[in-house]
C-alpha cells in the first residue's frame, strides 16, 4: 500500500542499523506505530516475536493478519457454504475463497451510496472515490465477509485475512492522487479497472505474536519486549482523515459522515504526534513509559520535533545515537505541498540504549 511514511524502501537500512546496536539476546520486537505492518512483517520473517499496535482500526486489521496470523488458513467451516473447497488443497484455499468473493454480484451498500457517483449524484455532496462497479463490489464482498463471521463460518484468523485482502485491493482502485483527503474529478485508469480480490501475503512461522489497537501512550507502559521501534507521524497530517475510507471499509459501521469528502468523526483518533504544540510532551511521556532495553525512532529532518528535542528526550533514558539516510519524499508531498523544494529528505533512525527498563 502507498502509505504516508511507509518504511518499505527503508527496511534494509533499519535492519542494518538496528543490528549494529542491539545484543544477540533480543527476541521481541515491538512496532507500536505499525501502519501497514511492513516493518513488523520484515522482522517477523527474521524470526522475531512481534508486538504491533496502531490507533487506526484498518491498520489493526492489516497487522492482525500480517503479524498475528502465522499458521496456514484452512477455512474448515466455510466448506459448509462452499462445498468445492473440500477438494482444494489447503495452501490453495486462500486464493479460491478470494476468487469466490471476487465473483459475487455487487450490492448497493454504504460505500456505493456515499462514495460513488451513482449513489451520490443527486445528494448535496456528490463523490467519486471509486467507480460505481467497484463500490458495489466492495460492498458485496465486505457484507459477505461479515455475514460469514456472524454465522461463524470463518475463524477470527480467516476474517482478518479476508478483510486485509479487501483493504489492500480496494486501495489500489481508489480514485485519488494518493490519500483519501480528496478524490479526483475524472476516474483515473486504475480506478476504472475492476476490483479483484487477491490474497494478502500470509507469513507462516512458529512464533506467537500480539496485535493491539490503542493509543500508544495508553499502551506502551503495558508492553514488554526487547526492541521498541517507533515510527510516529512526522507532521500535522492526521492518518484518520487521510485514510478515513479504509477505516470505514474496515469497520463497516455506517458512520455519520460529513463534508465534501464524507469524513467520519475521528475525535478519539486525533494524534498528538501531529500537533506541534503537543508532540514533544507526548513523546517524552512515551519514552519515560517504555519498557524495552532498546528504543529506536524513525523521524526526518523536516518533522514537527527538532533533532535537538529528540536527542534531549531520548537521552533521559541512556546513551543516545543516530543513523541517517537520504530518502525520496512521499509522492503526495511533492504534488500537494509545493513549498517543499527538495525532493529528498534526510531520514534519521535515532536510538537510545536504556540504562534501566
Ligand X SMILES: C[S@@+](CC[C@H](N)C(=O)[O-])C[C@H]1O[C@@H](n2cnc3c(N)ncnc32)[C@H](O)[C@@H]1O
CA distances from 316 to 183, 295, 356, 357 (A): 44, 12, 11, 12
Partner residues linked to 299 by β-bridges: 348
Closer of 10 and 138 to ligand X (Cβ): 10
Question: 141: which DSSP letter?
Answer: H
In the complex, least distance from residue 40 CB atom to ligand X, rounded to whole angstroms: 8
Closer of 135 and 303 to ligand X (Cβ): 303
In the complex, least distance from residue 109 CB atom to ligand X, rounded to whole angstroms: 25
Closer of 72 and 218 to ligand X (Cβ): 218
In the complex, least distance from residue 215 CB atom to ligand X, rounded to whole angstroms: 4
Give phi and psi for 211, each to the nearest 5.
-135, 135
Query: Which H helix or E strand runs over 146?
Result: helix 132-150
Closer of 116 and 219 to ligand X (Cβ): 219
CA distances from 66 to 161, 299, 317 (A): 8, 24, 31
Closer of 297 and 354 to ligand X (Cβ): 297
Q: How far apart are CA 219 and CA 54, in angstroms?
A: 10
Query: Which residues sit at the interface with ligand X, rule CB under 6 A?
Result: 3, 5-7, 33, 35-36, 38-39, 54-56, 59, 215-216, 231-233, 239, 271, 273
Q: How far apart are CA 191 and CA 187, in angstroms?
A: 6
In the complex, least distance from residue 8 CB atom to ligand X, rounded to whole angstroms: 6
Other beta carbons less than 10 A from residue 353's beta carbon: 17
Closer of 75 and 243 to ligand X (Cβ): 243
In the complex, least distance from residue 283 CB atom to ligand X, rounded to whole angstroms: 10
CB 70 within 8 A of CB 206: yes
Closer of 165 and 242 to ligand X (Cβ): 242
CB 145 within 8 A of CB 122: no
CB 200 within 8 A of CB 162: no
Among 160, 165, 265, 215, CA closest to 33: 215
Exposed e or buried b for every residue in 258-280, given b needs 16+ CB within 10 A?
Answer: eeebbbbebeebebbbbbeeebb
Closer of 166 and 216 to ligand X (Cβ): 216
Q: How far apart are CA 179 and CA 2, in angstroms?
A: 8
In the complex, least distance from residue 206 CB atom to ligand X, rounded to whole angstroms: 25
Question: 87: which DSSP letter?
Answer: G
In the complex, least distance from residue 187 CB atom to ligand X, rounded to whole angstroms: 27
Q: How far apart are CA 21 and CA 25, in angstroms?
A: 12
In the complex, least distance from residue 228 CB atom to ligand X, rounded to whole angstroms: 13
In the complex, least distance from residue 252 CB atom to ligand X, rounded to whole angstroms: 19
Closer of 76 and 285 to ligand X (Cβ): 285
Amino acid at each position: 500500500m502507498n502509505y504516508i511514511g511507509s518504511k518499505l524502501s527503508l527496511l534494509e537500512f533499519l535492519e542494518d542499523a538496528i543490528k549494529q546496536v542491539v545484543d544477540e539476546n533480543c527476541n521481541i520486537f515491538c512496532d507500536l506505530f505499525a501502519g501497514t505492518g511492513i516493518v513488523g512483517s520484515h522482522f517477523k520473517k527474521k524470526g522475531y516475536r512481534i508486538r504491533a499496535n496502531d490507533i487506526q482500526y484498518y491498520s489493526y486489521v492489516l497487522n492482525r493478519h500480517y503479524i498475528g496470523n502465522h499458521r496456514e488458513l484452512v477455512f474448515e467451516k466455510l466448506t459448509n457454504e462452499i462445498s468445492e473447497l473440500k477438494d482444494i488443497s489447503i495452501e490453495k484455499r486462500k486464493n479460491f475463497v478470494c476468487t469466490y468473493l471476487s465473483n459475487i454480484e455487487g450490492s448497493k451498500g454504504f460505500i456505493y451510496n456515499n462514495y460513488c457517483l451513482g449513489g451520490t449524484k443527486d445528494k448535496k455532496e456528490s463523490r467519486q472515490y471509486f467507480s460505481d462497479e467497484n463500490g458495489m463490489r466492495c460492498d458485496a464482498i465486505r457484507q459477505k465477509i461479515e455475514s460469514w463471521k456472524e454465522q461463524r463460518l470463518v475463524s477470527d484468523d480467516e476474517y482478518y485475512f479476508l478483510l486485509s485482502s479487501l483493504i489492500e485491493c480496494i486501495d489500489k482502485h481508489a480514485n485519488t492522487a494518493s490519500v483519501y483527503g480528496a478524490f479526483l474529478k475524472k476516474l483515473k485508469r486504475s480506478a476504472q479497472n475492476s476490483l479483484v480480490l487477491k490474497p494478502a501475503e500470509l507469513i507462516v512461522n512458529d512464533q506467537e505474536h500480539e496485535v493491539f489497537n490503542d493509543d500508544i501512550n495508553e499502551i506502551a507502559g503495558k508492553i514488554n519486549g526487547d526492541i521498541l521501534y517507533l515510527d510516529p507521524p512526522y507532521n500535522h497530517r492526521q492518518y484518520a482523515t487521510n485514510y478515513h475510507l479504509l477505516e470505514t471499509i474496515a469497520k463497516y459501521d455506517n458512520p455519520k459522515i460529513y463534508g465534501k469528502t464524507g469524513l467520519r468523526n475521528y475525535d478519539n483518533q486525533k494524534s498528538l504526534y501531529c500537533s506541534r504544540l503537543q508532540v514533544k510532551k507526548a513523546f517524552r511521556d512515551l519514552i519515560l513509559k517504555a519498557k524495552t532495553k532498546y528504543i529506536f525512532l524513525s523521524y526526518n529532518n523536516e518533522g514537527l520535533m527538532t533533532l535537538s528535542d529528540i536527542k534531549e528526550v531520548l537521552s533521559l533514558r541512556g546513551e543516545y545515537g543516530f543513523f541517517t539516510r537520504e530518502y525520496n519524499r512521499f509522492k503526495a508531498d511533492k504534488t500537494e505541498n509545493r513549498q517543499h523544494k527538495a525532493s529528498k529528505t534526510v531520514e534519521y533512525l535515532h536510538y537510545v540504549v536504556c540504562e534501566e527498563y
